[in-house]
Homo-oligomer: A and B are copies of this chain.
C-alpha cells in the first residue's frame, strides 16, 4: 500500500503548496482522495498515470477539497478515457459537476457514476474485489466524511521447498493459493498449511480531514496501519481550532494514541506557520511515530 500526498495546505493553494489531494495505491488499485484545485496538474508533475484512477472519494464540499474535480473529469474525456469512473462524496456533488458539464455543453464518453453520501454513521460504501471502503463521519462546518480503506486478505503464499518435497503438480498451484488441500499423484492428501505460508496481513489506511477533535473517532480507526489526521493548528491556536472545527497536532496525536495506529501522518496545515517542526514536537507528546505530509511525498504503508 502506497500513499502519495498531492497537496495538504489548508484553505487556499500557495505558490508551492497545493490544497488537499492524495493518491492511494491499494492492492494494485489506484484511488484518489479529495481533489483540490490543480490536482490534475500535480498528477502530471509527479508523472502519475492518472487514467488508472477508477474511484474518487471526496470528504466534503469545501473548495480546498474538491475544486479540482470538474477539471479532472473534463480532462479524462479529452484524454479519451473509456473506463468507468466512480465518485463518492456528499449530496450535491452530482448537481454541481453536471451543471458545469451542461453549461459547457460537455459530457463524458465514459460512464461517470456518482455515489452521494448522506449517512451520519460509519457505513461500508464500497466492497471491491481488492479492498473495502467505509465512511468515517467527521465533525466539521459542513457534512464531512473521512474514509477507511482496508486491503482484502490476499492469497496464501506457496512454500516452494515443501511443494517440491511433496511433488505437488504445477497445475495445483492456484488451488494451493486459494487455501485448498491437495491430493498427490499417489492418492495421499496434504493439508494446505503444510504447503503454503499465510498471506501478508492486510493493511489499512484511514483518511480524516477536515474535522474538529472527535475522540470517538478512535474506535472507528482502531489499529489501522496508518492514520492521516488533519492538524490545521498548533496548540497556540486551540481557540481557532474550536471555532473553525479543525484540530490541533496534539488532538490528532491523541486519536492516534487511543486507536493504537501504526503510524500517524499530519496534514492540512494553516499557512500561518512558516516552520512545521512544532507539529511533530506537539504531536509526540502523545504519539511517537508521526510524520508530516508534504506535496509530492510518498509513504509506504506497512
Contacts and interface: CB of A to CB of B under 8 A. Distances in A.
A67 interface: yes
Contacts of A14: 41, 44
Interface in A227-267: none
A15 B37 contact: no
A135 interface: no
A13 B37 contact: no
Contacts of A37: 37-38, 40-41, 67-68, 71
Interface stretch (A97-105, A193-201, A286-294): A97-105
A208 B140 CA distance: 43
Contacts of A274: none
B15 A45 contact: yes
A96 interface: yes
Contacts of A70: 63, 67
Interface of A: 11-15, 18, 37-38, 40-41, 44-45, 61-63, 67-68, 70-71, 74-75, 78-79, 90, 92-93, 95-96, 99-100, 103-106, 141-142
